[in-house]
Amino acid sequence: MKRLYLLRHAKSSWDDATLADHERPLAKRGRRASKAIARHLRREGVNPELVLCSSAIRTLETLERIEPELGGANVRIEPRIYEASAGGLLALVRELDDDVGSAMLIGHNPGLEHLIADLARAGPELDRLREKFPTAALATLQFEGSWPQLRADGAELVAFVKPRELEK
């Protein structure tokens, strides 16, 4: 059984209008949400073997805040995640070595949300995700088979958590 964790970066700051989108840092709210997700990762024992993270500043800062809770995962900065479509993200996932049992992608919308909608079979968690996939939300997909064989409706969305739910 393979697991794919899809984490949207935490809320970014728009305070400096001169910054390019790729260079925007986390906002105060994003730093707080990152801490909430980090606590959740520790509590739930989420420790992927491999983490692929977009090269955007806000994703790198999200990774920096959660990395201590990832159990020593192998981390790769993957520039192709930035602005990737669902198809582009799926292509990256299909490139994973089959000896990797679990992986996390830290990226952006709309690509992440569309990828989850494409891969996950229908169910209540998918309905909830389609309502809103906010910043710092984490979706967990599970499937049988190999990474290259991952197809539409081929995975189960086994967990979906929003940072606001964790801050209660």
**Distance, CA of 106 to CA of 60 (rounded, Å):** 9
Tell me the pLDDT tens digit for each residue of 111-147: 999 999 999 998 888 888 888 899 999 999 999 999 9
Domains identified in the chain, total number: 1
DSSP track, 135-166? TT-EEEEEESS-GGG--TT-BEEEEEE-HHHH
- CATH number for position 118: 3.40.50.1240
**Distance, CA of 52 to CA of 11 (rounded, Å):** 19
Domain of residue 27: give its range. Answer: 2-166
The structure tokens 């909608």 sit at 117
> What are the CA-CA distances from residue 111 to residues 28, 80, 91 (Å)?
24, 12, 12
pLDDT at 168: 57
The CB-side HSE value for 75 (13 A sphere, CA atoms) comes to: 18
Report mean pLDDT in 10-residue bins for the chain, 168 residues: 98 95 97 96 96 98 96 95 97 97 98 96 88 95 97 96 84
Q: Give the 3-state secondary structure of residue 74.
A: strand
CB count in 10 Å sphere of residue 29: 15
How does strand 156-161 pair with strand 138-143?
antiparallel
pLDDT at 125: 86
Q: pTM (2 decimals)?
A: 0.96
